[in-house]
Amino acid sequence: MAKVYIKGVGMTKFDYTQKFWWQFAYEAALEALENAKMKISDIDAILLSAISSAAGPESEHQVHKASMLSDVFKTNVPIVEVPAVCAGGGVAFWLASHLISNFKNILVLSGERLVESITEVTTDRILAASERILEQPEGLIFPVQKAMVWQQYMQKYGGTMDDLALIAFKNHQNAVSNPKAYFYQRPVTLEEIKNSPVVASPFRLYDCSLSINGGAAVIISQEKTDVELAGSGFATDYLLAFLRKDMTHYLATQIATKKAYEGAKIKPEDVDVAEVHDAFTSEEIIAYEDLGFALIGKGPELIRKGLTNIDGKIPINPSGGLKAKGHPISVTGLAQIYEITNQLRGRCGQRQVKDAKIGLTHNLGGNGGTVVVYIFRKV
Amino acid sequence: MAKVYIKGVGMTKFDYTQKFWWQFAYEAALEALENAKMKISDIDAILLSAISSAAGPESEHQVHKASMLSDVFKTNVPIVEVPAVCAGGGVAFWLASHLISNFKNILVLSGERLVESITEVTTDRILAASERILEQPEGLIFPVQKAMVWQQYMQKYGGTMDDLALIAFKNHQNAVSNPKAYFYQRPVTLEEIKNSPVVASPFRLYDCSLSINGGAAVIISQEKTDVELAGSGFATDYLLAFLRKDMTHYLATQIATKKAYEGAKIKPEDVDVAEVHDAFTSEEIIAYEDLGFALIGKGPELIRKGLTNIDGKIPINPSGGLKAKGHPISVTGLAQIYEITNQLRGRCGQRQVKDAKIGLTHNLGGNGGTVVVYIFRKV
């Protein structure tokens, strides 16, 4: 595989502004171009991470998004749309990283107007990512499904709801100093977290990430820069969770992780900072284990000991994560790369992880049916 | 770019059978695996061409198709979904052709249940591929849009409705000997074509391709086989047709074509057989010109002189084309590669083009917003 370098990154603030998905994507792309000191005419191919959130008859009623972007950017280069639910950003970047040997500069971007006025529509769209014959009719929307997984985890390994509260607290604290996070300068106390209303037992409000709007963009290049892609892994898994051997962990994450570490020729203990897919607080603990930062069943110890705080042994989600930065589905994978790139460049101000040289991103789609893991290295 | 070889191809009959999209895709994949003498465990990555036809709340209500295929094939390899409206098959194959340097064998597939019981739903889904603010409210569904283009063409260059009838007649004749075509063994006379009802003036019923169900699959490999990909081109264009300089021709086809010929180091006259995107009969004539088989405005001469018949100078759409084989949107680009592969292998029976050594496919999405052109060569 050809060498892949990060040339520029861009991201909008995540909030509830009402714009079209492509307006968010466009703003993020402009920032990435500026960051890369490039013009759109320097871009040879475009990958768009997109769930169909805005395509349905009940919403923007517009497919053929590649052609829309040809309009937006006034370009005729190859443009490919890639939907992979919550892992869309990661998968679009994965394709770009493989295309780079034939293209000089590739723009990977996404924008998502996830939260519109009609909340049922958003919920219904997200629901369509879980299995339709056996799961959807049982009301297995993601909070419920992930709550069941966590109940099983607690029984099996002894994790507690207090552990989850600590995850939420850490990520909210991190977000306070991230100007692009929804919870920027809006601290949340441990008490508020523990007393928040139950959403899907045992999950409380603060165990769930934020459905939000926003955009992110990454420009990769053949040309050497200050950040390189050192390793990557991509794996899929069955849509139906009960077909899997182990419901409390993600085989796809484990396969992708192994491949990424092998590619980068490093071990988990070499990672200085990671952005992991904390769509629910429990998922961050499971990620600790699947990514090899803790043994299976030992993830809670990391948060109890503060090892994943910004000044800890392995800081996780310094951006605030999906939890407190926000989770605009298809954008998330790229927003993770935005954060890690800035961490490796030492541009994260108060939330900067000291001497970060190796960073990891972990982007998980649906019920772990699509997972992408990247390792970036400061050059 | 690494060498790309066709290892195996598969295709279901195109008809109105009611199955899920993935059942069509699965059947086509089994045939491709058999054709390639491979097992699913030999496949290292999967590309799925998919429009969102079956994903909406009004239909199968199921996104995360990559994870579904992990279930279907019992595999954990990278699986990527690629929607690009009518050009989905071509774009999925394009990605696969670039990924091949890092994967040994890649399966590209699609299945489409385009025609269900609810016809309005299908029409509405296809409508979403045209521009939503200025075109859709004017009722600019594709037959209407393409009819306007052809009216302009007739005024500018002097094409006639009789030319279109000849295109339909040729493609229907070809389909008669294609067992996978919907119109297999069902000949249509020139009189029937000319007297068929008007759909969108000046188009009659037989000027329009068939919305249909079906699946197709192609397996590509690093390993040398009897058919190689000699050249490819991919370009995009604006969603809004009126922003373009020339409405009667497709800039994206022209850019993609130039790149494909350059890659293959051949000229249009070297092509022995082509499958072109005849979603409407007029589009085949425009393709003659954009692909360089005729000068601009001179396309009608080819069909008048019979030069694009199976025994002509440059046989076009020996399969019957979208017109008479059928057009299951996301499947079409792969079905074209299925036909060209079989033509180069000399396996097309009565519709075999003699001594076919170089074949071209042309897959066009929406109003020409995404176009992919391939040149295949017998090794």
pLDDT digits (tens, 9 = 90+) for B7-41: 999 999 999 998 889 999 999 999 999 999 999 99
Mapping DSSP to helix (H, G, I), strand (E, B) and coil, where does residue A109 land?
A: strand
Q: Report the residue count for chain A.
A: 379
Whether A60 sits inside 8 A of B236 (CB atoms) is: no
* pLDDT for the residue numbered B57: 61
What pTM, to 2 d.p., does this model score? Answer: 0.97
User: Based on the number of CB atoms within 10 Å of its own CB, is A349 exposed (0-12), middle (13-18) or buried (19 or more)?
Assistant: exposed
Q: Which residue has the tokens 């990769």?
A: A220
* pLDDT for the residue numbered A126: 84
Whether B70 sits inside 8 A of A131 (CB atoms) is: no
* pLDDT for the residue numbered A379: 96
Whether A64 sits inside 8 A of B238 (CB atoms) is: no
Reported confidence tier of residue B117, pLDDT bands at 50, 70, 90: low
Helix H or strand E encompassing A327: none
Whether A239 sits inside 8 A of B68 (CB atoms) is: yes
Rounded Cα distance, B335 and A212, in Å = 40
Phi/psi at A357 (5° precision): -115, -30
Does the pLDDT of residue B351 top 60, yes or no?
yes
Nearest CA in chain B to A233: B78
Interface test with A, best of B44, B52, B62, B67 (most A CBs within 10 A): B67
Cis amide linkage into residue A83, ω under 30° from 0: no
Of residues B328 and A116, more confidently modeled: B328
* pLDDT for the residue numbered B165: 98
Rounded Cα distance, B333 and B321, in Å = 11
Q: What percent of chain B has pLDDT over 90?
A: 84
Q: How far is CA B349 from CA A156, A236, B343, in A?
A: 63, 40, 9
Mapping DSSP to helix (H, G, I), strand (E, B) and coil, where does residue A300 land?
A: helix
- Tokens of residue A226, six digits: 């200050």
> Which of A180, A179, A128, A171 has the alpha carbon at shortest distance from A24?
A180
Rounded Cα distance, A5 and A225, in Å = 6
Lowest mean pLDDT among A154-163, A235-244, B153-162, B343-352: A235-244
Instruction: Find the CB nearest B136 among A61, A79, A235.
Output: A61
Side chain identity, residue B284: E
Reported confidence tier of residue B60, pLDDT bands at 50, 70, 90: confident
Mapping DSSP to helix (H, G, I), strand (E, B) and coil, where does residue A136 land?
A: helix
- Biggest distance spanned by C-alpha atoms of chain A: 56
Catalytic site residue from A249, A277, A327, A362 = A327
Side chain identity, residue A290: D
Terminus-to-terminus CA distance in chain B, angstroms? 18
Rounded Cα distance, B282 and B167, in Å = 8
Instruction: Find the CB nearest A70 among B57, B77, B236.
Output: B236
Residues of A in contact with B89 (CB under 8 A): none
Spatial neighbors of A229 by CB under 8 A, at least 6 apart, are A3, A4, A5, A6, A97, A220, A374, A375, A376
Strands B227-236, B370-378: parallel, antiparallel or unpaired by DSSP? antiparallel
CA distance B52 to chain A (A): 8
- Biggest distance spanned by C-alpha atoms of chain B: 56
* pLDDT for the residue numbered B244: 85
Residues of B in contact with A370 (CB under 8 A): 64, 66-67, 79
> Which of B318, B303, B364, B322 has the alpha carbon at shortest distance from B160?
B303
* pLDDT for the residue numbered A117: 54
Mean pLDDT calculated for residue range B134-159: 93
Does the pLDDT of residue B342 top 80, yes or no?
yes
DSSP state of A316: B
Residues of A in contact with B243 (CB under 8 A): 71
* pLDDT for the residue numbered B336: 98
Rounded Cα distance, A23 and A12, in Å = 10
Residues of A in contact with B235 (CB under 8 A): 76-78
Instruction: Find the CB nearest A239 among B71, B236, B243.
Output: B71
Residue A267 has a CB neighbour count (10 Å cut-off) of 9
Whether A85 sits inside 8 A of B77 (CB atoms) is: no
Residues of B in contact with A252 (CB under 8 A): 76
Instruction: Find the CB nearest A102 among B1, B132, B252.
Output: B1
CA distance A348 to chain B (A): 33
Whether A236 sits inside 8 A of B102 (CB atoms) is: no
User: Based on the number of CB atoms within 10 Å of its own CB, is A337 exposed (0-12), middle (13-18) or buried (19 or more)?
Assistant: buried
User: Based on the number of CB atoms within 10 Å of its own CB, is A39 exposed (0-12), middle (13-18) or buried (19 or more)?
Assistant: exposed
Sign of CA dihedral B187, B189, B192, B193: positive
- Tell me the three-class secondary structure of chain B, residue by residue: CCCCEEEEEEECCCECCCCCHHHHHHHHHHHHHHHHCCCHHHCCEEEEECCHHHCCCCCCCCCCHHHHHHHHHCCCCCEEEECCHHHHHHHHHHHHHHHHHHCCEEEEEEEECCCCCCHHHHHHHHHCCCCCCCCHHHCCCHHHHHHHHHHHHHHHHCCCHHHHHHHHHHHHHHHCCCCCCCCCCCCCCHHHHHCCCEEECCEEHHHECCECEEEEEEEEECCCCCEEEEEEEEEECCCCHHHCCCCCCCHHHHHHHHHHHHHHCCCHHHCCEEECCCCEHHHHHHHHHHCCCCCCCCHHHHHHCCCCCCCCCCCECCCCHHHHCCECHHHHHHHHHHHHHHHHCCCCHHHCCCCCCEEEEEEEECCCCEEEEEEEEEC
DSSP state of A97: H
* pLDDT for the residue numbered A99: 97
Interface test with A, best of B80, B82, B120 (most A CBs within 10 A): B80
CA distance B366 to chain A (A): 7
Mean pLDDT calculated for residue range B102-129: 84
Does the pLDDT of residue B55 top 70, yes or no?
no
* pLDDT for the residue numbered A54: 63
Q: What is the pLDDT along chain A (379 residues), one digit of tens a residue?
A: 789 999 999 999 999 998 889 999 999 999 999 999 999 999 999 999 987 566 666 668 888 999 999 999 999 999 999 999 999 999 999 999 999 999 999 999 999 988 765 567 777 888 888 898 889 988 888 999 999 999 999 999 999 999 999 999 999 999 999 999 999 999 999 999 999 999 999 999 999 999 999 999 999 999 999 999 999 999 999 998 878 888 899 999 999 999 999 999 999 999 999 999 999 999 999 999 999 999 999 999 999 999 999 999 999 999 999 999 999 999 999 999 999 999 999 999 999 999 999 999 999 999 999 999 999 999 9
Phi/psi at B252 (5° precision): -60, -40
Side chain identity, residue B243: L
* pLDDT for the residue numbered A53: 61
User: What is the ipTM, given to two decimal places?
Assistant: 0.96
Residues of B in contact with A64 (CB under 8 A): 84-85, 129, 239, 365-366, 369-370
Interface test with B, best of A63, A238, A242, A262 (most B CBs within 10 A): A63
Active site residue A64: no
Rounded Cα distance, B292 and B277, in Å = 15
| Residues of B annotated as part of the active site | 86, 327
